[in-house]
Amino acid sequence: MFDVGGQRSERKKWIHCFEGVTAIIFCVAMSAYDLVLAEDEEMNRMHESMKLFDSICNNKWFTETSIILFLNKKDLFQEKIAHSPLTICFPEYTGPNTYEEAQGYIQTKFEDLNKKKDTKEIYTHFTCATDTKNVQFVFDAVTDVIIKNNLKDCGLF
Is 78 annotated as ligand-binding? no
Residue 101 lies inside a defined structural domain of this protein: yes
Q: 120: helix, coil or strand?
A: coil
Number of domain units in the chain: 1
Residue 77 lies inside a defined structural domain of this protein: yes
How many C-beta neighbours within 10 Å does residue 157 have?
10
Is 3 annotated as ligand-binding? yes
pLDDT tens readout for residues 42-91: 999 999 999 999 999 998 888 888 899 999 999 999 999 999 999 999 99
Is 144 annotated as ligand-binding? no
Is 74 annotated as ligand-binding? yes
Residue 4 lies inside a defined structural domain of this protein: no
Q: Please give the residue range of the domain that contains residue 133.
A: 11-154
Is 140 annotated as ligand-binding? no
Strand 23-29, strand 122-126: pairing: unpaired
Contact 56, 62 (CB under 8 A): yes
Is 40 annotated as ligand-binding? no
pTM comes to: 0.84
Residue 30 lies inside a defined structural domain of this protein: yes
pLDDT tens readout for residues 119-136: 888 999 999 988 888 778
Residues forming a β-bridge with 70:
27, 125
